[in-house]
Amino acid sequence: MNKTPHVAVVGATGAVGIEMLKVLERRRFPVGQLTLLASARSVGKKLTFAGKEITVTELTKDSFKGIDIALFSAGGSISREFAPIAAAAGCVVVDNSSAFRQDDRVPLVVPEINAADVRNHHGILANPNCTTAITLMALYPLHRAFGVKRIIASSYQAVSGTGAKAIEELERQVQQIAAGQPITREVYPYQIAFNVLPQVDSFQPDGYTKEEMKMQNEGRKIMHHPGFRASVTCVRVPVYRSHSVAVSAEFEKPVTVEAARAILADAPGLDVVDDPAKQRYPMPLFTSEKDNCEVGRIRMDCALDNALCFWVSGDQLLKGAALNAVQIAEELLKL
């Protein structure tokens, strides 16, 4: 891999694409040349990177000649069409969509957990679902020490996970309520302001949503743990940024709060914020725009045997998307 690679960001004008640019600059990724790609409607827009304005060009089948690394954040249909084309052109794709996560030939990577899997790529690497990534930042260190059997979890997912229009919808509805005006809806099936929606993604025949099953399916692949089981309820909440997850995790080996807290304190990319007596615990308010996830409310589960409860929060646009993608690209430079 070229140590000063030509990098492309696909979907550069979207929320995650913009975050990718910020993360590349902030982490001083050694970009030799940068190409910004998007749909025809965004062509001509200018974005700033490292003090320079770069013009957005249209994504086409001929866009990847000379590109070393392409960070994709333009949706599953775009990834399915263009990622194989990019890979065939000699580019390594880091894809943020769900298109390739369950493909056996595509590594699904959280660098703090399974960075070694990067070397097994065949031109495409996948970023996990944002809620899965944030949860595993706390769960995997405990699994490595105690062997997780199963979890029961509930997510509290920010509207920015749906996109910029969802943020606008929440803002608009809050203003409408304050002004006594009728509530208008465009993104969600129900009002999101001052409400919670127990649905993220579409329902499957078994009653779980696709989003809820990603925790188990992706967790198994990332942790190399085919017996891992997860029962999850995903909830959309009226928060602008950062997802949170309440987890009850049952383990094979004896576990204690003290041992768990010590292990989590040493985990990369994770901060322990756990002092209930002083009302200190993770919150989206404080994890937004922060690279590290936070874990707290660590306690023994009073309903399951040999189990812990904990609460983890993280910025889904960063560790759940842009940051994780750039970290994967950093691992590529080590090959």
Q: How does residue 122 score in pLDDT terms, banded at 50, 70 and 90?
A: very high
The maximal CA–CA distance of the chain, rounded, in angstroms, is: 59
Stated pTM of the model: 0.95
pLDDT at position 163: 87
pLDDT at position 2: 86
What are the pLDDT digits (tens) for 126-140?
999 999 999 999 999
11 and 93 Cβ atoms separated by less than 8 Å? no
Active site residues: 130, 243
Listed residue (113, 104, 163, 105) closest to 135, CA to CA: 113
Listed residue (63, 84, 83) closest to 73, CA to CA: 83
List the single range of 38-42, 160-164, 177-181, 274-278 with lowest mean pLDDT: 160-164
What are the pLDDT digits (tens) for 1-20?
888 999 999 999 998 999 99
What are the pLDDT digits (tens) for 278-328?
999 999 999 999 999 999 999 999 999 999 999 999 999 999 999 999 999
pLDDT at position 88: 97
Average pLDDT score over residue span 26-37: 97
What domains, with CATH codes, occur in the chain?
6-128+321-333 (3.40.50.720), 132-315 (3.30.360.10)
